[in-house]
Chains A and B, each alone.
Chain A
């Protein structure tokens, strides 16, 4: 594969190269910070409600895992080939976890 310009943008609209680069970084940063935090929080909440242990232990375990989900999501956001893929890669698991969580919340 030819050498990619990093960070690749995945955004086509700004014409000028450096502006495109900046927008790409900004989109990825947003994905990393907001998407990553939401995903990590959902992981903590879902593990807290679903793990087969005392609720206090489940919450502790879930929150300890969330501390690792966030940096993982950040790394993904900057490793993905484009900013759009970075967003998609976080949106899909967030949607799945969110749906499961919402379902359980309403059922409870």
Chain B
């Protein structure tokens, strides 16, 4: 039964991967970009490139934030302060608008502002853009559809992916050897090797990222456990899952009482965590006798934990005395989930580790791309005779070819268009952030329509060249539109901005290399038509 088992798993691997391959490609590309969400956002706000960020004691930064909130939002029911990190040097304050107040620059129920941590001065608003946040949302909320649909679509695709990975592993006879095998210029064999290499090279990452991706939304996908145990009472479940100390819904007393200084609370919370930095400060019912201040630990490089769970210290607002601590010793199950969740988001990682996550993500994109390409290459050989006589391949092959060009050839152009729009659109344009996103989808739509209409080698070459050129020239675009080009950012060590320029340029050059390679093969084929290479391979045998 061994032979039958491998064959059936190879069949399952092929179809579970192929059917959702193009959505997975989008999810992988957007997710990989999201590892550098903050850096992408910074690059897309050139007004902030030259800001200087001296180290400021967190007590001081928090004090400035509270001063601004007292001035602007003294009667708000809730304040939020997000402390600076290595990757986001400003202090973000936001507040719930008091009932009946409609601010002119706030969105709905909340208003926000960004502060310089050292001085408390408001950072002048940069150009309006979603920046890296767009890719982060695209990764699981897609776009132009309700988030709940998108999350189900992405979840189903992720489950297909998990099945494809597991069945892909068990079909391999020699998984270790495949890791070191690449036989270039051998047609289908080369695609298979490339697929194996990118898949096996980062296999632990692929498994981890797919499982943990499902885990982030598991209570939505599998509500049965919560339903059975809490008998449908989701609210109680989430209150037990994310304990807030009961202060979140506390009603104000209506009796005014000045808020104690927040600085000492920040220092006390830090001391409680052995010096780990503060992430977020929430003030409930500020300036009321029942005010509470909840301080949560930061998730980041400086925190000695991979977990996404954040311990919290709660203070009594008027007296400033510590009232309780939450999450100092999470249960085994909570910590398991927290670490798995944390692994997916990778907020804990140092720049080097973040780079490895990014490279693994690229390997994932290549794995998906080579997988769907391999199917088309293999399938087309069934029609080799018909094509040689001037006929066409079957509908399935033509459809997959078209979708491959549309997704793999088109997506780099969409990304490039988004970055170019950021610099070419007038700074004061109405609804600027939405227009940037529209450029992304218009560019992709044009490429996709072309790909579906003419899925030819020439079009591959054209799209790869366009995408590659647009990305490779990003440093020039940055130099032409800002004062912070590579000549400035490299000597002064502004690695976030310089890194964006260099990485995007390198990706563009890789696409140009691919375009050149495709073109050379096309020329060769035209010069000397040769028979299709022999069909073979562990995963190809007997699989139809």
Q: Which residues of A contact B (CB under 8 A)?
A: 1, 3-4, 6-8, 40-42, 44-49, 53-64, 66-68, 70-71, 74-75, 78-79, 81, 101, 105
- Judged by a CB distance under 8 angstroms, whether B218 is at the interface is yes
Which 8 pairs of residues, A with B, have the shortest CB-CB distance? A41-B224, A45-B228, A57-B333, A44-B225, A48-B225, A56-B240, A59-B225, A48-B229
Which residues of chain B come closer than 8 Å to A75, judged between CB atoms?
A: 9, 12, 163, 166-167, 170
The answer to whether A101 touches B228 (Cβ under 8 A) is yes
The answer to whether B8 touches A79 (Cβ under 8 A) is yes
- B residues contacting the other copy or chain, number (CB 8 A): 43
Interface of A is mostly: helix
Q: How far is the CB of A63 from chain B (nearest CB, A)?
A: 5
Knowing that A6-B544, A101-B228 touch, tell me 13 more A-B residue pairs with CB under 8 angstroms.
A4-B4, A45-B224, A53-B331, A55-B240, A56-B240, A59-B229, A60-B225, A67-B222, A75-B12, A75-B167, A75-B170, A78-B167, A105-B228
A64-B226 CB under 8 A given contacts A7-B8, A79-B8: no
The answer to whether A60 touches B241 (Cβ under 8 A) is yes
Q: Which residues of B contact A (CB under 8 A)?
A: 1, 3-5, 7-9, 11-12, 16, 159, 162-163, 166-167, 170, 211, 214-215, 218-219, 221-222, 224-230, 237, 240-241, 331-334, 336-337, 340, 542-544
The answer to whether B331 touches A54 (Cβ under 8 A) is yes
The answer to whether B225 touches A66 (Cβ under 8 A) is yes
A63-B225 CB under 8 A given contacts A1-B1, A53-B331, A71-B166: yes
Which residues of chain A come closer than 8 Å to B211, judged between CB atoms?
A: 67-68
> Which residue of chain B has its CB nearest to the CB of A58?
B229
> Which residue of chain B has its CB nearest to the CB of A57?
B333
Please report the C-alpha to C-alpha distance between residue A1 and residue B4 in the assembled complex, in whole angstroms: 9
Interface of B is mostly: helix
How many residue pairs, one in A and one in B, have C-beta atoms under 8 Å apart?
126
The answer to whether A62 touches B225 (Cβ under 8 A) is yes
Which residues of chain A come closer than 8 Å to B3, judged between CB atoms?
A: 1, 3-4
Please report the C-alpha to C-alpha distance between residue A75 and residue B229 in the assembled complex, in whole angstroms: 29
The answer to whether A57 touches B332 (Cβ under 8 A) is yes
Q: How far is the CB of A58 from chain B (nearest CB, A)?
A: 7
Q: How far is the CB of A42 from chain B (nearest CB, A)?
A: 7
A-B CB contact pairs (8 Å), 8 listed: A1-B1, A8-B4, A48-B225, A56-B334, A57-B331, A60-B241, A67-B215, A68-B211
